Amino acid sequence: MAHKRLQALDLGNTKITDADLKELATLDQLHSLNLFQTQVTGVGFKKLTELKHLHTLTLAGTHVTDAGLKELAGLKQLHSLNVGSTKVTDAGLKELAGHKELRSLYLYRTAVTDAGLKELGGLKQLQELQLGGTSVTNAGLTHLGGFKQQQSLHLYKTELTDTGLKELAGLTQLHTLGLGSNNVTDAGLKELAGLKQLKWLHLMETGVTDAGLKELAGLKQLQMLYLTGSKVTNAGTEELKRVLPNLRIN
C-alpha cells in the first residue's frame, strides 16, 4: 500500500491521541513525524520505537512528560527532537543520554534547569540547542563546553548575564546565537570576539549600546544582527555597517 512508503507525516494540531499511535507502527519507512500541539502524553510512545528510520520527532506543545521520554529510549537513531512547551523537566533529560545521534534538541519553555543540562554531556553530535524561556543560568552554560559541533544556540529569555558568555568562547563553530531578552551588556559582547563563524546574532531587548557594537567589528562572517529593544542608536549601527558592509540590522 502507498501509505506504507510514507517518509514524512504531519499530524500537528489534529485530534490524535496516545491510543492512535499504534496505527503508525506499520509506517516503517517514516523519517519525520510531527505531533505538534496534539493531546499525546507519551503513554503510547513505545509503539513508535518500531519506526527504525525515524530521524525527526516533533512533540512541541503536547502533554508529554518525563515518563514519555523514557518510552522513546529505543529510538537511538533520532537526529532531531522537539519537546518545547511540554512538561519535560531535568529528570526527563536523563532519558536522552542514550540518544547519541541527536543533532538538534529543542527544550524551549520547559522546566529544564542547569542541573538538566549536565545530563546532556554525552551528546557529542549536538549541533543545535534551543533553551529559550527556561531557567538556565550562567552556571548551566558550563555544561555546554563539550559541544564542539554546536552551530546554533538559542538562550533568549533565560537567566543569562555577561559572565555566562565566557562559557561560550570554545564553541567556535557557532553560526547562530540568540541572547535576546537577557541581562547582557557591552561587557558581555567582548566574550564573543572569538566566534568567527557567527552569521546571525540576536541581541533584542538587551542592555547593549553603541559602544558594545564595536566589539563585533571582527566578526567578518556576520550577516544578520537583531537589535530591536536594545540601547543602540542609528549612529552606532551605521558605524558598524561601515566596517561590515554586508551586514543587515533589524
* Listed residue (200, 192, 203) closest to 229, CA to CA: 203
248 and 137 within one domain: yes
164 and 46 within one domain: no
Domain end marker among 113, 142, 158: 113
| Residue whose grid cell is 520527532 | 57
50 and 96 within one domain: yes
Domain end marker among 113, 147, 176: 113
Q: Give the sheet arrangement for strand 56-58, strand by strand.
A: 8-10, 32-34, 56-58, 80-82, 104-106, 128-130, 152-154, 176-178, 200-202, 224-226, 248-249
Residue 120 placed within a domain:
no
Residue 54 placed within a domain:
yes
238 and 131 within one domain: yes
Residue 68 placed within a domain:
yes
CATH of the domain at 81: 3.80.10.10
Is residue 142 within 8 A of residue 118, CB to CB? The reply is no
Residues 147, 150: Cα–Cα separation, whole Å:
5
7 and 93 within one domain: yes
Residues 6+ apart with CB under 8 A from 98: 73, 76
Residue 122 placed within a domain:
no
pLDDT, position 145: 86
133 and 99 within one domain: no
250 and 131 within one domain: yes
DSSP assigned state of 14: S
248 and 141 within one domain: yes
103 and 193 within one domain: no
147 and 92 within one domain: no
Residue 149 placed within a domain:
yes
Residue 56 placed within a domain:
yes
Half-sphere exposure of 116 toward its Cβ, with a 13 Å CA cutoff?
19
Residues 6+ apart with CB under 8 A from 2: none
Which structural domain range is residue 3 located in?
A: 1-113
Residues 8, 223: Cα–Cα separation, whole Å:
32
Residue 33 placed within a domain:
yes
pTM, two decimals, is 0.95
Domain end marker among 83, 113, 143: 113
Residue 118 placed within a domain:
no
* Listed residue (123, 53, 63) closest to 93, CA to CA: 123
171 and 63 within one domain: no
SS3 call for 159: strand
Exposure string over 40-79, b if 16+ CB within 10 A, otherwise e: bbbbbbbbbebbeebbbbbbbbbebbbebbbbbeebeebb
223 and 134 within one domain: yes
Tally of structural domains, the chain: 2
* Listed residue (239, 242, 229) closest to 250, CA to CA: 229
**pLDDT tens-place values along the chain, 250 residues long:** 346 789 999 999 999 999 999 999 889 899 999 999 999 999 989 999 999 999 999 999 999 999 999 999 999 999 999 999 999 999 999 999 899 999 999 999 999 999 999 999 999 999 999 999 999 999 999 999 889 899 999 999 999 999 999 999 999 999 999 999 999 999 999 999 999 999 999 999 999 999 999 999 999 999 999 999 999 999 999 999 999 999 999 9
